[in-house]
Structure 1
Amino acid sequence: MTDRGVMSYFLGMEINQTDHGIFISQNKYAEEILRKFKMENCKPTEVPLGVNEKLSKEYGGGKANEGTYRRLIGNLLYLTSTRPDLMFTMSLLSRFMHSPSDIHFKTAKRVLSIFSWNSRKQEVVSQSIAEAEYIVTAAAANQAIWLRKFLCDLFQIRL
């Protein structure tokens, strides 16, 4: 056994150890998947599954390549270790691995487009430092509100 010091990257997971805790992310792995499926410049989305979208085996449309679909689903399932919010969608999409349609493949690619937010440019050009700080603060507040709602749903807490 060899001591190689503090772990920073292991099995596609980035590990950041600080005095406040250990933080795990898969940003690099997600970017690799985006490149693998040629989706680096895709339009980002915030939710993995459309509202009231129901998937079934009898969906119309053409048949998707089973091997490519299985690789995409396998890669996305590995991402659920740091993104549990994707678990429902991924378990739903994995039901169609034996006979995926184009609709199933497009839905799986929509899940992948969630990760493209990390690589997009800022949409607003600020004219001052104060305006830039306001934009960042508003974005952080939106993320905090979303996280609070997510945790309340997860632990079934009422506000």
Structure 2
Amino acid sequence: MGLMAYYLGIEVKQEDKGIFITQEGYAKEVLKKFKMDDANPVGTPMECGSKLSKHEKGENVDPTLYKSLVGSLRYLTCTRPDILYVVGVVSRYMEAPTTTHFKAAKRILRYIKGTTNFGLHYYSSDNYNIVGYSDSDWSGDLDDRKSTTGFVFFMGDTAHLDVKEATNSHTINL
């Protein structure tokens, strides 16, 4: 059978110093599915200081289309912790999405357009030091004043990342 190269949309590249996993092909499929394959890339997945609310102005959009987009983005977080927080933010509005929410989700696609080759590297290491970082937005949800907290712990070069929202938890073991 040989070395694993592809599993459930995740590309596995085994190298001498470790493993690199990416969802580059899947990201390109998602861009094409939502007609964003010709979009101009942006440098960040969300505008700095941007806050969304359930009471955003704008017309309602098709919830099925919005849920499909958010679901596709959620699957990309398997190898893309850089979008985990913002995908969690747009996930809050699946019940009644507006054009403002849809625009925020499409911005994530524009970010992905410029970063399709991003992924995770797992390097073999003899470093067993534990280092941790955490952050919170301190009641950042405009609707219910709940906080989103995230942390990452490294043991050597391998990380455990977690983003916790008020009612949802998303953990990626790296």
User: TM-score, normalised on structure 2?
Assistant: 0.65
Residue 152 of structure 1 deviates from its aligned partner by 7.7
Structure 2 unmatched runs, 5+: 117-131, 135-150, 154-174
Write the distance in 2 (CA, Å) between the matches of 1:27 and 1:83. 10
- Is 1:106 aligned to residue 103 of structure 2? yes
More helix by share: 1
Partner of residue 75, structure 2: 78
Structure with bigger gyration radius: 1
Partner of residue 87, structure 2: 90
SS of aligned partner of 2:12: strand
Residue 42 of structure 1 deviates from its aligned partner by 0.2
SS of aligned partner of 1:16: strand
The correspondence for 1:50, drawn from 32, 35, 47, is 47
Partner of residue 63, structure 2: 66
Partner of residue 147, structure 1: none
SS of aligned partner of 2:13: strand
Aligned length: 122
More strand by share: 2
Task: Tell me how large the CA RMSD over aligned residues is.
Answer: 1.9
Question: Deviation above 2 Å: which 4+ runs of structure 1?
Answer: 151-156
One-letter amino acid of the counterpart of residue 65, structure 2: T
CA-to-aligned-CA distance 1:12-69 (integer Å, 9 cap, x gap): 1110011111110111110000000011110101111111111001111100110010
The correspondence for 2:2, drawn from 2, 5, 12, is 5
Partner of residue 39, structure 1: 36
Partner of residue 17, structure 1: 14
Partner of residue 127, structure 2: none
